[in-house]
Amino acid sequence: MATAEKPRCGGVITKLSGSLKNPPRSDMHDNMTCMWEIRGNASDHVLLAFPYLNMDCTNEYFDILDGPPSSAAFLGRICSGFYHTYQSSSSSVTIKYFRRFNNIGKVFIVYYYSEPKGERVASASAGSWPVRLGSSDYPIAALGPWAADSASAWLPLPPRVGMIR
């Protein structure tokens, strides 16, 4: 008799842009730790954006690490709020997700993309929020709070964009 394989989460991601979503909820009776290492091009840094989190900070949270797991510096732990963003100092970043035993977990999505160091970042009321800019210094697309360009990269657009650094 074959046994069902448990859903897995985590791993190494080399795609230059995309998103991570909550793992399957079928394993709610187990502690769950997922670790993703996102690797960009060697000369890039990696940007992360968490548009909204509403987790119980004791039973479910994210740790954000700057670099690969073997040598990463701890950047922070997050579990709730709006517009959390992180930028790696190197070409990789590690995201660790933890969900405690018997906790069904909340729905989440994390957007990531790799971009050349020195790209401009727009400053928003919620802090620095990355916005890819076109040659005329305007966002490439505006389709609501989240937009996509032709290469399927995401563009986080906050409610109010202020000065461009």
Give the chain's domains with CATH numbers: 11-164 (2.60.120.290)
What pTM value is reported for the model? 0.67
**pLDDT digits over 93-140, tens only?**
999 999 887 777 788 899 999 988 876 444 343 444 444 433 333 233
| Beta-sheet strands, E only, within 6-153 | 11-13, 17-21, 32-39, 44-54, 60-66, 73-78, 80-87, 92-99, 109-116, 122-124, 127-129, 146-148
49-67 average pLDDT score: 92
Beta bridge partner(s), residue 123: 128
Average pLDDT, the chain: 72
pLDDT at position 124: 40
